[in-house]
Structure 1
Amino acid sequence: MMASVYNCPVITLPKVHNRAGNITAVNNELELPFSVKRLYYLYDVPGGETRGGHAHYKLQQLIVAVSGSFDVILDDGTVKKTVHLNRPNYGLLVVPGIWRDLVNFSSGAVLLVLASESYDELDYIRDYNEFLEYAKK
């Protein structure tokens, strides 16, 4: 399948409401189209900073704004699309072959990533010009 920003949907995650607070649970291959092999989170991102700035050959991710808000700029080499995340029960699925930049972090924002693969530096495309060449194939 060709990588496209149009293959990166926002997924509504289940939310169980209780007067004492809400809970959202994410299950491998149920809410997600993959099994989680790694998770990590970004926090205390200074105002004006950009994170991301790469693409992956194989890795899929679900990106969730656990707290606060931020924008994800998706780029497939032809089309760019910006997705604003600001609710902990919505996640953005990012498929392989998509460049992503994470920008406009609000104060106190926490970004959670559920990833389909363990960390592998060889899976990263970190140079934008190399990414554009890859996207043409």
Structure 2
Amino acid sequence: MDLLSPIMNTFCKSERLCNKNLFEELVHSDFSFVKFPFRVLVKKSSLQGEYPARMGISVSKKKFKRAVKRNRLKRLTREAYRMHKSELYKDSQGYETLDILFIYIDNTVLEYSKIEKAIQSAIQKIIIHFYRVPE
């Protein structure tokens, strides 16, 4: 955890889901759920990464024609994830790398507080599913 503490408040390239093959695997993953306004896909990665999780965001061009709105939603989502990823990293403790994809499913641009709340509850659900041992 000492290695990760300086980067807790950043979101670097190594934490992004950039590999096309990993992205394709993730789209066909078994575990997904909806935390409005997102559909969240999560999978244990087939390729170990530097960090406990890699994250990607998808905003439909069909729903948001203007790139300005799509980029704003991606920025807000990235910021919310960056602020709350420490919870996910804290519970990972040397497990495999997770690949996470947030797909924005609403037709309107929501305010940051609603996006942040959805990301936070999605992270909690991921922690419970992947890291907590059922008793």
- Interval of TM-score (by shorter of Structure 1 and Structure 2): under 0.3
Higher helix share: 2
TM-score normalised by length of structure 1: 0.27
